[in-house]
Amino acid sequence: MTTDRAQVKAALRRQRIETPSWAYGNSGTRFKVFAQQGVPRTPQEKIDDAAQVHRYTGVAPTVAVHIPWDKVDDYAALAEHARERGVTIGAVNSNVFQDDDYMLGSVTNPDPKVRAKALKHLLECVDIMDATGSRDLKLWFSDGTNYPGQDDIRARQDRLAEALAAVYERLGENQRFLLEYKLFEPAFYTTDLPDWGTSYAHCLKLGPKAQVVVDTGHHAPGTNIEFIVAFLLREGKLGGFDFNSRFYADDDLMVGAADPFQLFRIMHEVIQGGGYTDDVAFMLDQCHNIEPKIPGQIRSVMNVQEATAKALLVDVEALREAQQNRDVLGANAVFMDAYNTDVRPLLAELREEMGLDPDPMAAYARSGYFEKIRDERKDGQAAGWGA
C-alpha cells in the first residue's frame, strides 16, 4: 500500500463534493412523499442546509440548483446568499420534464412549439449560470417513447442534436454542459439518451464544452461503471458524476450505501485516469425519503471520502509490477489490500488537521441546528418535488 499518508491526506483535503439542493427538500416515491420536520421552504433555506454539510465535512463547498425548483427573481442575490453562508452555487440543473407539454418529450417532441419552449428553458438556464457564476449546466431529458412505432427514433435524434447544438452555441467561454443519460424511466420503450455511448456521440460532435455525466444509478444492473469511467476519461469526455446508489433501478439512495466496493473501483479509475481534478464534477444526486436529509448528505460525503481514501492508498507501483508479471492473484491482492483498509482513522486525523470535528455526524447532531430549523420552519410550504 502507499504509505505516504501525508500525500493521501493532501489529496483528500483538495476533494470537492457538490450536494444537490433537492436532497434537502421532501421527496419520496410515486406512492408517497413523506414530510419531514425542518425541511427548507425556499432555495435560500436549502442553501443554508447545504452550508451545514460543508461546515462539518469541509469538502462540500458548492450546491447544485434545479430550475424551476430553485426559481428566484434574482440569481445574483441567491449566489450572494450562498457566499455569505460559506458556499457557492455549482451546477445548474435544467428541468424539461415536469410540464404537461412534455408528455411526448421536450427537445425531441414532434411538436416544434414544445421543442422551442424546452430550448428556451435550457437557454434561460445558461442566463442563470451567468448570474450565479456557475460553470456547469446539467442536461437530463426524460424524452423517449412508450410504444413501438410511437415516434421516429432517428428523427428524435435529429431534434436532440439540434437542441444540443443551440445550447452549445450559447455557452460562455468558461461554461460547459454535462449531458446525462439514463437507461429508462419515465419512458419505457425507447429513451432518447439511454446510455453513455449516445451521450458521448452527441458530445463528441459538439466539442470540448460538451461532456458526459455519469449518474451511477442510471445503468442496467451489472453494468461495469468503472469501465465507462476509464473509457470516458481516456477520451477526455468525462465531465462529472451524479453519485447515488441503487439496489434495483434509479433508487437515488445514499452513495456508497448499496455497493461501496463499486464506488472504490470507480474512484480508482478516476484517480488512475487523471480525473481527480476540478475538471470532473463530483456531484451527489440523491433523495432522502426516509432518513433525515442533512445527516444523509453528510454520510454520503463521508462515503465518497472513504472510497477515495482507499483508492488513493492503492500501491500503484506494486499493482503495475504484478500486472506486468502477469501475476493475476498478486495484482488483485494489491487492489483488495487498499479496499480492505480501514481509512476512518486517517480521515478523522485529516479533519482534525483541517480544524474540523473528527466525527461530522456527531458534531452535526450536537450542534442544535436540527432543533433550530424544526422550530423555525414550522409554518409555510416545505420544498419538495416541483416546489
Is 93 one of the binding residues for ligand PSV (CB under 6 A)? Answer: yes
Name the residue nearer to Mn ion (CB basis): 179 or 346: 179
Q: Which of 161, 178, 48 has its CA nearest to residue 126? A: 178
Name the residue nearer to Mn ion (CB basis): 91 or 128: 91
Site string for ligand PSV, 6-25 (x = CB under 6 A): ----------------x---
Site string for ligand PSV, 245-264 (x = CB under 6 A): -----x--------------
Cis omega (within 30 of 0) for bond into 295: no
| 3-state DSSP helix/strand/coil % of the chain, to nearest 5 | 45, 15, 40
Is 282 one of the binding residues for ligand PSV (CB under 6 A)? Answer: no
User: Nearest to ligand PSV by Cβ — which residue?
Assistant: 140
Whole-angstrom Cα distance, residue 215 to residue 230? 15
Site string for Mn ion, 213-232 (x = CB under 5 A): --x-----------------
From 18, 49, 70, 242, residue interacting with Mn ion (rule: CB under 5 A)? 242
- Which cell is 192 given? 432518447
Q: Which of 21, 9, 110 has its CA nearest to residue 387? A: 21
Site string for ligand PSV, 55-84 (x = CB under 6 A): ------------------------------
Minimum distance from residue 180 beta carbon to Mn ion (Å): 5
Q: Which of residues 214-243 bind ligand PSV (CB under 6 A)?
A: 215, 242
Would you put residue 133 in left (φ > 0), alpha (ψ -120 to 50) or beta?
A: left
- Dihedral pair phi/psi, residue 59, rounded to 5°: -130, 20
Options 57-65, 105-113, 235-243, 349-357: segment touching Mn ion (CB under 5 A): 235-243
- Given ligand PSV, Mn ion, none, residue 56, with its beta carbon under 5 to 8 Å by kind, binds none
Length of the chain: 387
Name the residue nearer to ligand PSV (CB basis): 266 or 346: 266
Cα 376 from chain centroid (whole Å) = 29
Name the residue nearer to ligand PSV (CB basis): 252 or 269: 252
DSSP 5-42: HHHHHHHHHT---BEEGGGGSB-B-SS-B---TT--SS
Site string for ligand PSV, 122-161 (x = CB under 6 A): ------------------x---------------------
- Given Mn ion, ligand PSV, none, residue 102, with its beta carbon under 5 to 8 Å by kind, binds none
Q: Which of 43, 132, 45, 58 has its CA nearest to residue 88? A: 132
Is 285 one of the binding residues for Mn ion (CB under 5 A)? Answer: yes
Residues in CB range of 116: below 8 A, 6 or more apart? none
Minimum distance from residue 181 beta carbon to Mn ion (Å): 10
Element (H, E) at 180: strand 176-180
Given the DSSP bridges, would you call strands 144-145 and 190-191 parallel, antiparallel or unpaired? antiparallel
Minimum distance from residue 8 beta carbon to ligand PSV (Å): 31
Whole-angstrom Cα distance, residue 308 to residue 270? 9
Is 136 one of the binding residues for Mn ion (CB under 5 A)? Answer: no
Residues lying near Mn ion in the complex (CB under 5 A) are found at 215, 242, 285
Q: Site residues (CB under 6 A) for ligand PSV? A: 22, 93, 140, 180, 182, 215, 242, 250, 285
